[in-house]
Structure 1
Amino acid sequence: MSLVLTAFVANMILGCFQPGDTISDKTAKYEFAATPSWQDEFDYSGKPNPQKWNYDLGDHGWGNNELQNYTDKIENAKVEDGHLIIEAIKGKSGKANYSSARLVSKGKGDFLYGKFEIRAKLPKGRGTWPAIWMLASENNYGNKGWPDNGEIDIMEHVGFDQNKIHGNIHTKAFNHSIGTNKGNNVIIETVSDEFHTYSCEWTPESVKILLDGKDYFTFSKEAGYDWAQWPFDKPFHLILNIAVGGNWGGQKGVDDSIFPRKMEIDYVRVYPLVEKK
């Protein structure tokens, strides 16, 4: 069985809304199930659960001139005391001078629509670039890569702008590389001192980004949109990572005195979309 088909069958068993299910026209109202269909509560110790998470690996800059090497080592990603800890460390790793981790649910958690909740405490310091985000699990559109198949940024933070949280979407028509990015940000002073809940509510009509239950950015599907504006009708997967430096995170340099720096995640929960009766 193919990876995509395996993920599809698994999600159908879990009750996620998937291709082939039907939702009525744009007048329909949507809601999310009260119980998650996919989650990680991090109530264990050691490496992240291999039944839920893969690793992206490498030191090639990740399209953003990032400075870290992503590894699968336990010092960069571990579960302890009820939390997932992703840690960026100063030190030679591959061709890079920093190491970190980038966890992905692709093939083990692929979702079409739903409510995504991640409770996290973020790193602090110039040069850090943590993110909680989503990419398409398949390449169906355009040039078969980014940004044609879409990106949803549930949370991005850059350490040189400590009190600001960003939520964005990227598509072929709307992305930062051509100056048409769609997104917003919100000011909050305790992102590195307290846990906050970062959420996305994704339906066939819109992508909504929330912080602690309050929405601050909504991108809606408008009449006439095709895949270039709205590729958000295919399965996506979750990504959790800390980058170091890069085109955005490194705009004001990297303060080497801050390392190591970590992002702590209390839980990840995905609630499937259901049609409101």
Structure 2
Amino acid sequence: WRNSRPQALYTSSSITSRNKKSFLYGRFEVRARIPLARGSWPAIWTLGNTMEWPSCGEIDIMEYYLIKGVPHILANAAWGGEQRYKAIWDSSTLPLSHFTEPDPDWGSKFHIWRMDWDEQAIKLYLDDVLLNEIPLNKTSNGNLGYYSNPFKQEHYILLNLALGSNGGEPDDTAFPLLYEIDYVRVYQKQ
């Protein structure tokens, strides 16, 4: 509500562990059912605690949005380069049809998004199928990030449902949208 306006037809939502709990490495699991309606942009992601974006590091365990008008599931990581606010991305994108053609009920089911993150790599899964593996020996920041590796620091978790933008123009007939989270679990070695 940064702008003065009499009303908003809809707003985005977010839950974050920022300033509450951060994690360095481990297994992250989220069981969720995501909205697939046009205009929805659900995500499960992390950001590093230090530096500004993208030098802080971003891990997208799951994003769902439109690419050239076609719905996609994404599993990504981003870090800083030589220009401010210009990220280097390691991205895996699959059209939603990859999941819905073999299972027409895919969108009505809960799914498990998982990240296995250790000193060597970030591995991103959907229902135990590896979507992307990012080796950490290639993820060092550029000069703005002091050549540090943003994935060798603690990250906090974000769960959000954005509306519009990459999700496309929202479909008013699809409201209310439900982004249902059954659980969020983080497992770490002692």
Separation in structure 1 between the aligned mates of residue 87 and residue 155 of structure 2, nearest angstrom:
24
Task: Give the AA of the match of 1:104.
Answer: T
CA distance in structure 2 between the partners assigned to 1:239 and 1:59 by the alignment:
21
Indicate the structure (1 or 2) with the bigger Cα radius of gyration.
1
Q: Deviations over 1:68-95 (max 9, x none)?
A: xxxxxxxxxxxxxxxxxxxxxxxxx876
Question: Normalised by the size of structure 2, how large is the TM-score?
Answer: 0.80
Tell me what 1:222 maps to: 137
- Please report how far the alpha carbon of residue 108 of structure 1 lies from its aligned counterpart in structure 2 after TM superposition: 2.5
RMSD over aligned CA atoms reads: 2.6
Q: Pick from 254, 258, 269: which aligns with 2:185?
A: 269
**Paired position in structure 2 for 1:207:** 122
1:167 positional shift: 0.3
Q: TM-score when scaled to structure 1?
A: 0.56
Unmatched runs of 5 consecutive residues or more in structure 2: none
**AA matched with 1:185:** T
- Of structures 1 and 2, the one scoring higher in RCO (CA 8 A, sep 6+) is 2
8 Å contact kept, 1:114–1:272: yes
Q: Do the aligned partners of 1:111 and 1:236 also contact (CA within 8 Å) in 2?
A: yes
Kindly tell me the number of residue pairs found equivalent between the two proteins.
174
Unmatched segments (≥5 aa) in structure 1:
1-57, 61-92
Change (3 A) 1:119 1:183: same
After superposition, residues 1-277 of structure 1 pair within 5 angstroms as: 96-136=8-48, 138-139=49-50, 144-158=51-65, 161-162=70-71, 164-173=72-81, 178=86, 180-186=88-94, 187-189=98-100, 190-222=105-137, 226-228=140-142, 230-246=149-165, 248-250=166-168, 253-273=169-189
**One-letter code aligned to 1:240:** L
Aligned-pair identity in percent equals 34
Which structure shows the bigger proportion of residues in strand conformation? 2
CA distance 1:213–1:94, shift in 2 (3 Å)? farther
Distance 1:180 1:273, change over 3 A: same
CA distance 1:95–1:149, shift in 2 (3 Å):
farther
